[in-house]
Amino acid sequence: MKLNRSVLDIDCTAEVERICNRMVDIVARDQRRRGVIIALSGGVDSSVCGALATKAFGPKKVFGLMLPERDSKSTSKDLGVRVAEQLGIEFTVENIGPTLDAIGCYRWRDEAMRRVFPAYDEHWKSKIAIAGGAMGRINFFKLIAQSPDGQVHEARLPIHEYLQIVAATNFKQRIRKTVEYFHADRLNYAVIGTPNRLEYDQGFFVKNGDGAADLKPIAHLYKTQVYALARHLNLPEEVCNAMPTTDTYSLQQGQDEFYFSLPYDKMDIALWAHNHQVSVDELAAYLDVDAARASYIYSDIESKRRATTYLHARPALIERVAEIR
């Protein structure tokens, strides 16, 4: 079969039923929780998870959270609220900006940025972007910053500055998860994690941050399939058409720019093709690139899997404790 987009087609009705049945079994039978917490970012993944949870458990057993901070787009919270209202679930909005400020998130991040661009201050906007891997090089990150006069500055991030910026911004996902588990404990609920297959497979999450959850209902679905479910579940148009962003840095930043080597629809096909042993030549023909570039994309998929194995790993023990499963 020639590689084409239809390889990602799914029967949405059947898939929704299958996921919802499993969610109920997992939460009620295995985890013995009374409902679920869903943090709604306004993006397609969390919105679909919220809609699936509402179908599975009913709106009275789903609690929604919007957790904006200083660098979130205001539309993220507004869209999250719209989704929660459409689903008919109870929700609350908690601005985590003051918590992040108190814990030093912005201070540590900006201090590292100033080591790269000494004039950097709170009036600048910034983001980091991945480079290299899809060109057959070693992956590295660039800092892109815009000064108040509109000038854009760009520099390769040295290792110490890169690690400090990522460590500081990871506070955002970890504080959000702390708030989610507060409400989960308060209500005796389970926490839903919202990664799609690209994010889960390629390790695009923060360990003990957005990577922490009791249940990840769409981790087996390619992003294209998540969009299909969003339309099937009648989520708002803005959700169904939203481009994946990190919503973590003050400059607009697509997920493909930050982490993946291709836009999500092409990345989906590349990952599917890799998983199904499709040849480099066939992937190259589909993507309209040369064979070397397609080969780099496959290598990059494997490289990211290797590099992020640690993120998936449970804490290691010196020896197995036989009594604990």
Residue numbers of the site for other proteins (CB under 8 A)?
Answer: 131-133, 136-140, 156, 158-160, 162-163, 303-304, 306-307
Of residues 10 and 291, the one with the C-beta less far from other proteins:
291
> Min. distance of Cβ 14 from other proteins in angstroms?
39
CA dist 209 → 194, 206, 224, 286 (Å): 12, 5, 24, 35
H-state helical runs in 122-236: 159-187, 197-202, 223-232
**Closer by beta carbon to other proteins, 77 or else 304:** 304
Supply 91's token pair: 């929700």
Q: What is the CA radius of gyration of the chain?
A: 20
Q: How far is the CB of 134 from other proteins (least distance, A)?
A: 13
How many residues make up the chain in this entry? 325
Cβ proximity to other proteins: between 159 and 324 the closer is 159
* Phi, psi for 221 (deg, rounded to 5): -105, 135
Minimum gap (Å) between residue 159 Cβ and other proteins: 4
The least distance separating other proteins from the CB of residue 137, rounded to whole angstroms, comes to 5
Nearest-approach distance from CB 117 to other proteins, in angstroms:
18
The residue (of 34 and 160) whose beta carbon lies closer to other proteins is 160
Cβ nearer to other proteins, comparing 5 with 306: 306
Close Cβ partners of 250 (under 8 Å, ≥ 6 residues apart): 70, 71, 124, 125, 126, 127
Among residues 166 and 285, whose Cβ is nearest to other proteins?
A: 166
Q: Give the residue among 190, 125, 188 at the shortest CA–CA distance from 153.
A: 125
Least distance (Å) between residue 293 CB and other proteins: 14
8-state DSSP, 72: S
Label the pairing between strands 140-146 and 190-191: unpaired
Give the residues across from 140 on adjacent strands.
Answer: 131
Strand partners, 142: 129, 156
- The Cα–Cα gap between 200 and 272 comes to 14
Q: How far is the CB of 299 from other proteins (least distance, A)?
A: 9
The answer to whether 258 and 267 have CB atoms below 8 angstroms apart is no
Q: Which is nearer to other proteins, 155 or 243 (CB)?
A: 155
